[in-house]
Amino acid sequence: MRLQGKRAIVTGGGSGFGEGIATRFAAEGAQVIIADINMDNARKVAGETGAHALHADVADPASVTNLVAEANDLMGGIDILVNNAGITHLPALMEDVSEADFDRVFAVNCKSVYLMARALVPQLKAQGSGAILNVASTAGVSPRPKLNWYNASKGWMNTATKAMAVELAPSGIRVNALNPVAGETPLLASFMGEDTPEMRAKFLATIPLGRFSTPRDLANAALFLCSDEADMITGTCLEVDGGRCI
């Protein structure tokens, strides 16, 4: 029960890494809001964990404001925010990615972090505590070809994490990030372009431990960084990558 008494929002909590994190947080005693644009997924996970499901488009300012207000109403406050929601574009030469795809990637992967901070940070400052965890990617540390603008969005997220950590530390708010390698999530096929044994073997060949990351891997790391056990850790971008970035 390492999060007993804590209240958490997990964006993109209806599937993939977010589902793993939300499920583990609930099992460790936290009240959890599963915020997702896909309410079928969110309700399914909420039903399995005892969490609350709320609709949220993290790229939309009004939706984010409403999410924070509803979360406060349901839980009586917020202690932890996990910015997990994210998308990618299909593998392509950088000049061939459409402007619409570029804008959507940066809206969901980057602008959402700003919008959530704008909506929640004043509250965390007022209470003098809080933990924010951004789910970035090894793509932001060691970019893969043909995922250029996704790579850049996750590099932005790592820099934003460190900038947030420095600014918010005097207010008692910790900010960290996770950099997972490609995982068994709904985004895997998008990263690879096509989900075939050959493409999986190509990706796995870049991971020294020889497997994809799993929601459980990310949940374990997220639990530590958002718990009081990590109360001296801020500004860390932790690679959960089986050694890919070595």
Q: What is the 8-class DSSP label of residue 213?
A: B
Give the Cα separation of 100 and 218 in Å (integer): 30
Please say whether the beta carbons of 221 and 242 come within 8 A.
Answer: no
Please say whether the beta carbons of 54 and 65 come within 8 A.
Answer: no
**16-50: b or e for each residue (b if 16 or more CB lie within 10 Å)?**
bbbbbbbbbbbbbebbbbbbbbeeebbbbbbeebe
Q: What is the 8-class DSSP label of residue 183?
A: B
SS3 sequence of 5-53:
CCEEEEECCCCHHHHHHHHHHHHCCCEEEEEECCHHHHHHHHHHHCCEE
Give the Cα separation of 169 and 64 in Å (integer): 23
Please say whether the beta carbons of 31 and 6 come within 8 A.
Answer: yes
Tell me the catalytic residues: 150
Coil, helix or strand for 172? coil
CA separation, residue 83 to residues 92, 106, 108, 111, 114 (Å):
26, 14, 10, 11, 10
